[in-house]
Amino acid sequence: MKALSSIIALTFSLNLWAQTQDYLLLSHDPAFLERNASYTKTVIRKGRTYVVTLNQAFETLPLELQKNLEPIKTHEIINQETFFSFASQDADPRIAELTKLVKPENIRESIGLYSNLEKRATNVLDTKKNSGNKLTMDMLSLEFRAQGLEVSSQCYRKRKFDDECNIIGIKRSLNPAAKNYIMVAHLDSVGWDKAAADDNASGLAGLIEVARITKNLSFDNNIIYVAVNGEETGFNGSTAYVADLKRNGRLNDVLGVLVMDMIAYNKKGNILNLETNNEFLDYVEWVGIQAKLYTNLTPKIITPAWGSDHVPFLKEKVPTFLLIENWEASNPCYHKSCDTLANIDANYAAEMIKLNLAVTLQKAGLSL
């Protein structure tokens, strides 16, 4: 009887386990995690992979938590360093030489410039004229023009004083059959004055540095630099940009997308995270090879995608990856006022941008 009771108890426990739903947390904002800690139990917490179960019924949770939970099967998660055989590819000497043009001092200067502004949050567009967000848009437009790009604004939301817009710079190919390779970084912040150096002035610095180096080069395809707005409030800018591509039938013209978000904090070796969804693992594994060939970075591949501007592209099945710093040694000033130039590692950011450059040179088809 005792043995039978044990079997029944074990069967009951297994049934409960089988019914338990795991969820991927879609926000790691410190204040958000603190507010909602009592509602969940951690299953996996490893860098960008944060999986929980619920302590109560989903429908009884706070709405902000419901919106940031995605049902997931843990066997579908990838979070590991990559190990590659290089027999299929050698470094291209021309690309290797061009990556040497990435300058840490340029990156530091750009990060300092944009992180020294007033609040870059989108809500300040409703509070004053020429806010930090508007100045960022204007400065990027000027910078893109200085790099010889065809510049436009995609304004997707009316605000009280200045519209909320994406800033787009296109390096046109002379090839009449050219397609598009897209590089993305968000220009907004969560809303501290003279902050948001890593998140995401560092990504903007990446756009600017790659545009500078490629200014006088020729390509078989167009390179599109997109400084999106509204990432911190739900990927509003990238969602609007993807919707425009879809509406105009241009999604099929996209060769791939590279998203830079937080690429300049480094406290645990030169590790980078490459994040996508499982269907584009081949793309990201190829990017990992480029990291080994042209940088001193150690790539770690992560799936599934969450929490940045790669998500809207991936929802439309566009080959896209996020390049982001090592989340297992995450920036302690993430979404805080201390996210300043003082905590930036410009040499590490330079390696990240070398990778972006190497990928872009190849995907856009550097002409001989």
Encode burial over 260-279: b for 16+ CB neighbours within 10 A, e otherwise.
Answer: bbbbbbbeeebbbbbbbbee
In this structure, is residue 368 part of a structural domain?
A: no
* Domain end (from 26, 54, 76): 76
First to last CA, the chain: 81
In this structure, is residue 333 part of a structural domain?
A: yes
* Same-domain status, 130 and 254: yes
Return the DSSP state at 221: S
Domain holding 238, by residue range, is 81-363
Of 327, 330, 350, which Cα lies nearest the Cα of 339? 330
In this structure, is residue 17 part of a structural domain?
A: yes
Alpha-carbon distance of 135 to 229, in angstroms, equals 12
Q: What are phi and psi of 303, to 5 degrees?
A: -140, 155
* 187 and 229 Cβ atoms separated by less than 8 Å: yes
Confidence band (pLDDT; 50, 70, 90) for 20? confident
DSSP β-ladder status, 180-186 and 222-228? parallel
User: pLDDT tens digits for 101-130?
Assistant: 999 999 999 999 999 999 999 999 999 999
* Same-domain status, 215 and 338: yes
* Same-domain status, 70 and 32: yes
In this structure, is residue 268 part of a structural domain?
A: yes
Alpha-carbon distance of 170 to 211, in angstroms, equals 10
Q: Which residues are registered as beta bridge partners of 72?
A: 22
17 has pLDDT over 60: no
pLDDT for residue 18? 39
Domain count, the chain: 2
pLDDT for residue 16? 43
Confidence band (pLDDT; 50, 70, 90) for 83? low
- Taking the CA atoms of the chain, what radius of gyration do you get in angstroms? 22
Average confidence (pLDDT) over 328-350: 96
Half-sphere CA count of 241, side-chain side, radius 13 A: 34
**Dihedral, CA atoms, 145, 146, 147, 150, nearest 10 degrees?**
10
